[in-house]
Structure 1
Amino acid sequence: MRIAVPIKDNRGLESEVCEHFGRARYVVFIDVEDGTVKGSEVIEVPFKEHESGDLPAFIKEHGGEVVLAYGMGRRAIAYFNTMGVQVITGVSGKVRDVLEGLAKGTLKTDPDWRSKGDFGRHEF
């Protein structure tokens, strides 16, 4: 499975999850087999401004099957759904800790993330 996580900086698994999917400058792609991280790759988002659907297409082009994010606009979620990419929102913290929670089935998410930001805007 290939997991994509929008991150605040380019430190990979040591990075924090970016609060706003559409404003992340980097995405870490993590390859996981049988609950074990087999590798990771940080890729800088190739555009400063984007149209609706650009980021989901970017994630899909890089093999993303699951996206772990804090906040994300409804249109981005809809794009991922049509592409068959699973989205888990309300995720925060260090990527390494998030992956551990996912593997152990103890991942905590914020069910109120929508009320904490403007997740339909794309500016950086």
Structure 2
Amino acid sequence: MRIVVPIKDNSGLESEVCEHFGRARYFVFIDVEDGKVKGSEVIEVPFKEHEPGDLPAFIKEHGGEVVLAYGMGRRAIAYFNTMGIEAITGASGRVKDLVEALLKGALKVDPEWRSKGDFGRHEF
């Protein structure tokens, strides 16, 4: 499985989740086998501005299967759904902690994330 997380900086597993999926400059791609992290890589978003669907396509091209994010626009979620990629929203904190919680079945997310920001904009 390949988990993808939008991050605030290029610190990989030690980075914090970027609050707005569409404004992240970096994504960390985490490879998981047999319930354990086997590796990770940080990839900078290759475009400064994007249209709806560009980031989901970028993630699909890099093998993403599950996206952990805090806030995400409805169209991005719809794109992921059509691509067969699971989008989990409301996740915040350090990437390493989130992935460990997800793998243990103990991930806690903020169900009220949508009311805490404007997640339909695409500006950086």
Query: Normalised by the shorter chain, which TM-score bucket?
Result: over 0.9
Q: Report how far residue 34 of structure 1 moved.
A: 1.3
CA distance in 2, matches of 1:56, 1:38: 23
Q: Which runs of 4+ in 1 moved over 3 A?
A: none
For these two proteins, the number of residue pairs brought into alignment is 124
Report Cα offsets for 1:29-59 as digits up to 9, x if no partner. Answer: 0000111000000000011110000000000
1:61 corresponds to:
61
Structure 1 residue runs of 5 or longer lacking an equivalent are none
Task: After TM superposition, list the pairs within 5 Å mapping 1:21-36 onto structure 2.
Answer: 21-36=21-36
2:107 corresponds to:
107
Report Cα offsets for 1:74-104 as digits up to 9, x if no partner. Answer: 0000000000000100000000000111111
Report Cα offsets for 1:9-36 as digits up to 9, x if no partner. Answer: 0000000000000000000000001110
CA distance in 2, matches of 1:7, 1:84: 22
Q: Which amino acid aligns with 2:112?
A: D
Q: CA RMSD in A?
A: 0.4
SS of 1:27's partner is strand
1:11 corresponds to:
11
Is residue 70 of structure 2 the alignment partner of residue 75 of structure 1? no
Structure 2 residue runs of 5 or longer lacking an equivalent are none
CA distance in 2, matches of 1:36, 1:5: 16
Task: After TM superposition, list the pairs within 5 Å mapping 1:86-101 onto structure 2.
Answer: 86-101=86-101
Identity of counterpart residues, as a percentage?
85
TM score, norm. by length of structure 2 = 0.99
CA distance in 2, matches of 1:69, 1:39: 19
SS of 1:78's partner is helix
